Amino acid sequence: MDRPPARPDSVFGLSTMNPTPAPRTRRALPQDAALLSDLENRTFDADRISLRSFRTLLKRDTALVLIAERDGGIAGYALLLFRRNTTTARLYSIAVDSAAAGKGVGRALLLAAERAARERGKIRLTLEVREDNRRAIDLYRKAGFRPIGRYPGYYADHGDALRFEKTLHTAALLKAREGSGR
Ligand SMILES: CC(C)(COP(=O)(O)OP(=O)(O)OC[C@H]1O[C@@H](n2cnc3c(N)ncnc32)[C@H](O)[C@@H]1OP(=O)(O)O)[C@@H](O)C(=O)NCCC(=O)NCCS
């Protein structure tokens, strides 16, 4: 047979063929600001979060920076923003070091971000992504995000953005749905 072997089961997109274990994620600390800024500058050409902004964000309780660690270094980060009086959280940024790309770091950060938002009582996660960022869009779609809008000229260079959203089912909601047979 010249067909490739069928892909084995995957759980929420986590292929069991992936030999690389999921990286550890943790909340970023004030002393991580410089490394986060380095990663930011290596990853993005424009609309960068400055070192100063990272320092401020790391102190705010309306922001949460999650770090994925690999080999003692920072393999990637995700930045969540929260606002009071709303059940929606915003994934403002996610970036993975190019040396660690394609190994599940982005997915692990996304899962950690969803978990953190849920823990804060949020039931919806939104994000914007450049319309031509195939890689990121694939990541979001596979994680269950759906497009809900398009924003022409959203970025500093006038690039267009797509807005995605995901409903974060709480344990209680999932249980209620099972009970109602939906
Ligand atoms: C987008 C990004 C966060 C993905 O992180 P990653 O760690 O490489 O992604 P993962 O290894 O977790 O892959 C998850 C999914 O992303 C997509 N993906 C990853 N690498 C890809 C590639 N080379 N080509 C296309 N899609 C790819 C795939 O859908 C993949 O799912 P699969 O493994 O089932 O095929 C990372 O590429 C990145 O930091 N890019 C630059 C910054 C950026 O664009 N951030 C998003 C701003 S909105």
Give pLDDT tens digits for 158-170.
999 999 999 998 6
Mean pLDDT of the chain, nearest integer: 88
Per-residue model confidence (pLDDT) at position 10: 36
Minimum mean pLDDT range among 3-17, 27-41, 90-104, 119-133 = 3-17
In the predicted structure, residue 138 carries a pLDDT above the cut 80: yes
Per-residue model confidence (pLDDT) at position 21: 80
Among 96, 135, 151, which residue has the most ligand 1 atoms within 8 Å of its CB, making it the best to mutate?
A: 135
CATH number of 51's domain: 3.40.630.30
Among 11, 139, 160, which residue has the most ligand 1 atoms within 8 Å of its CB, making it the best to mutate?
A: 139
Residue 53 beta carbon below 6 angstroms from any ligand 1 atom: no
Residue 79 beta carbon below 6 angstroms from any ligand 1 atom: no
> Which residue's CA lies nearest to atom 44 of ligand 1?
136
Residue 70 beta carbon below 6 angstroms from any ligand 1 atom: no
The DSSP annotation for 84-134 comes to: TT-SEEEEEEEEE-GGGTTSSHHHHHHHHHHHHHHHTT--EEEEEEETT-H
What token pair was written down for 147? 């497009």
Per-residue model confidence (pLDDT) at position 111: 97
Whether residue 113 is contained in a domain is answered as yes
Residue 49 beta carbon below 6 angstroms from any ligand 1 atom: no
Which of ligand 1's atoms lies nearest the C-alpha of 109?
A: 12
β-strand 88-96 against 124-130: which pairing, if any? Answer: parallel
Whether residue 98 is contained in a domain is answered as yes
Per-residue model confidence (pLDDT) at position 105: 97
Q: Tell me, what amino acid is at 14? A: L
Per-residue model confidence (pLDDT) at position 22: 84
Q: What is the DSSP letter of 37?
A: H
Alpha carbon distance 151, 161 (integer Å): 5
> Which residue's CA lies nearest to atom 27 of ligand 1?
135
Whether residue 14 is contained in a domain is answered as no
Whether residue 141 is contained in a domain is answered as yes
Q: What percent of the chain has pLDDT over 90?
A: 77
Whether residue 70 is contained in a domain is answered as yes
Q: What is the DSSP letter of 145?
A: -
Whether residue 109 is contained in a domain is answered as yes
Which of ligand 1's atoms lies nearest the C-alpha of 95?
A: 39
- How many domains does the chain divide into? 1
CB neighbour list of residue 40: distance below 8 Å, 6 or more residues apart? 48, 49, 54, 93, 95
Whether residue 9 is contained in a domain is answered as no
Alpha carbon distance 89, 126 (integer Å): 6
**Average pLDDT, integer, range 24-47:** 96
Residue 73 beta carbon below 6 angstroms from any ligand 1 atom: no
Per-residue model confidence (pLDDT) at position 175: 66
Q: What percent of the chain has pLDDT over 70?
A: 82
Residue 96 beta carbon below 6 angstroms from any ligand 1 atom: yes
Alpha carbon distance 159, 165 (integer Å): 20
Q: How would you label 160-173 residue by residue, b for 16+ Cβ within 10 Å and e otherwise? A: ebbbbbbebeeeee
Q: Which domain holds residue 124?
A: 22-180
Whether residue 17 is contained in a domain is answered as no
